[in-house]
Amino acid sequence: MAGQPPEVAAGGESGQVIELPAASRATDIALDELELVYAFIYARVGNRPDAEDLTQQVAMKAIPRLRQNAPASAIRGYLFATARSVLGGFWSTRLGLSEAELREDLMLVTPAAEPPSEEGTETVQRILAQLSDNYRRVLELRFLHGYSLKEVAAEMKSTVGAVKVMQLRALRAAAKVRLEE
Amino acid sequence: MNGKPENRLERIVTDLLRGRRLTLRGGDAGEKEAITAAARLAGTSQGPQRMHPAFRRRLAEALEQQPREGLVTRRMALVAGLGLAAGAATGGLVGRATEPKPVAGTGGEAITPVSGRWIDVAALNDLQEGHGKHVVAGSIGAFVFRRGESVTAVSSICSHLPCELWWDGHNGNLACPCHPAAFAPDGRPVDAYSLPALNTVHVRVTSEGRVEVLGTE
């Protein structure tokens, strides 16, 4: 969608074709690009309500400022710069995190193609692969298989309390995993 | 019990796995690395996510509300919105869906912080009638309004995007810097957005003529 000239769009009554002015092209492309922005943000906040709010913030900040006839690459760069800024504000407000602490998330390169590679399940696998067996298992069961704590405890022949502590330690360890290597 | 880091984190993980918004409390910052890791795992465990069709429509509507003086004109946003909607999974035609909807917001609940305490924010005599004054009571930001000898207060955070509102004295309302939304001093939305009302904030006037807001340490 992103690269297509927006000559026509279905809409209106009875399949009526609406001709789009050439000037709308940059905006139309930018709106398609917001799908990538949404995936980028969702992969970092992990839930739909926050991802939607932040994507909307990016759209409202960035799109009015985009120049007409801007190339798609410039639009993407601007949108993702705005997205990183909005995400930085989100985490710093919620947790008091500085940009330096968010370096790994904020410095990620702008995705070149859809779907962005950083948003795929391979990210989870790369993180989990660097953890010890028990840590990897507890996070796999919870995040990939959706197990409750009680189910994880049963699976790992442990107690809920012990699994809860293990989950905390596993996530602390996961936070230290560097993905760029 | 809930003060233990493993319990705090478990609450956050459960919220994430249920698709809920990240609602963090003061002490959660101590586990910030683990929390961002949990968000990252929850956000990538099912692969790249696409916008929900309803959100795409809302986004198109919001873009429609952009000021005309922006580089994106109303007509462009409208047409782009139609293009978006045409690509949405619902496949439904929106026609004039980008027109503002009637106000149908709810919201307006009072903010009652856990272990809240009354914080002195101003003298009653310092407040002018018909003028919103921004005050901070610990973690609670509010606008207070004087009416005679009584005072009302609403949250200073927009009910939609988490942005700090500002007092627009010219129009007599609270305006959001992040999008064209505005609220009356009682918290009701005053434009055509279907936004919830602002949360109200507990406020009182002491016998000494001081204004106190129920805030946090």
Q: Locate the domains of chain B by residue range.
A: 5-44, 53-87, 110-215
Chain A contact present for B97, CB below 8 A: no
CATH number of the domain at B110-215, out of 2.102.10.10, 2.40.160.10, 3.40.50.11290, 1.10.1130.10?
2.102.10.10
Whether residues A105 and A134 fall in one domain: no
Q: Residues 3..22 of A with a Cβ closer than 8 Å to B: which?
A: 6, 9-13, 18, 20-21
Whether residues A99 and A57 fall in one domain: yes
> What is the distance between the alpha carbons of residues A38 and A80, in angstroms, rounded to a whole number?
10
CB B31 to CB A172 under 8 A?
Answer: yes
Model confidence at A11, pLDDT cuts 50, 70, 90, reads: very low
Whether residues A62 and A104 fall in one domain: yes
Q: Residues 55..94 of B with a Cβ closer than 8 Å to A: which?
A: 55, 58-60, 62-63, 66-67, 70-72, 75-77, 79-80, 82-87, 93-94
Query: Number of folded domains in chain A?
Result: 2
Whether residues A127 and A178 fall in one domain: yes
> What is the distance between the alpha carbons of residues B147 and B152, in angstroms, rounded to a whole number?
8
Model confidence at A101, pLDDT cuts 50, 70, 90, reads: low
* Mean pLDDT, rounded, for B31-60: 85
Model confidence at A3, pLDDT cuts 50, 70, 90, reads: very low
Q: Residues 98..157 of B with a Cβ closer than 8 Å to A: which?
A: none
CB A63 to CB B72 under 8 A?
Answer: yes
Whether residues A110 and A155 fall in one domain: no
For A41, nearest residue in chain B (alpha carbons): B43
Whether residues A75 and A128 fall in one domain: no
For A29, nearest residue in chain B (alpha carbons): B80
Which of A71, A97, A116 is the last residue in one of the domains?
A116
Q: Of A8-22, A57-71, A84-98, B182-196, which range is least confident?
A: A8-22
pTM of the model: 0.55
Three state DSSP letters for chain B: CCCCHHHHHHHHHHHHHCCCCCCCCHHHHHHHHHHHHHHHHHHHCCCCCCCCHHHHHHHHHHHHCCCCCCCCCHHHHHHHHHHHHHHCCCCCCCCCCCCCCCCCCCECCEECCCCCEEEEEEEHHHCCECCCEEEEECCEEEEEEEECCEEEEEECECCCCCCECEEECCCCEEECCCCCCEECCCCCECCCCCCCECCEECEEECCCCEEEEEECC
Which of A116, A135, A166 is the last residue in one of the domains?
A116
Whether residues A15 and A42 fall in one domain: yes
Whether residues A109 and A22 fall in one domain: yes
Q: Is the pLDDT of residue B150 over 80?
A: yes
* pLDDT per position as a tens digit, B11-20: 999 999 998 8
Whether residues A40 and A85 fall in one domain: yes
For A123, nearest residue in chain B (alpha carbons): B44
Q: What pLDDT is recorded for position A9?
A: 37
Q: A119: which DSSP letter?
A: G
* pLDDT per position as a tens digit, A30-54: 677 888 899 999 999 999 999 999 9
Q: Is the pLDDT of residue B72 over 50?
A: no
Q: What pLDDT is recorded for position B44?
A: 86
CB B70 to CB A64 under 8 A?
Answer: yes
Q: Residues 161..180 of B with a Cβ closer than 8 Å to A: which?
A: 161-163, 178-179
Chain B contact present for A44, CB below 8 A: yes
Chain B contact present for A93, CB below 8 A: yes
CATH code of the domain covering residue A166: 1.10.10.10
Considering CB atoms only, which of B7, B16, B58 is closest to A46? B16
CB B70 to CB A65 under 8 A?
Answer: yes
Whether residues A39 and A96 fall in one domain: yes
The distance of B112 to chain A (nearest Cα, Å) reads 19
> What is the distance between the alpha carbons of residues A54 and A42, in angstroms, rounded to a whole number?
9
Whether residues A90 and A7 fall in one domain: yes
What's the domain range around A148? 120-181
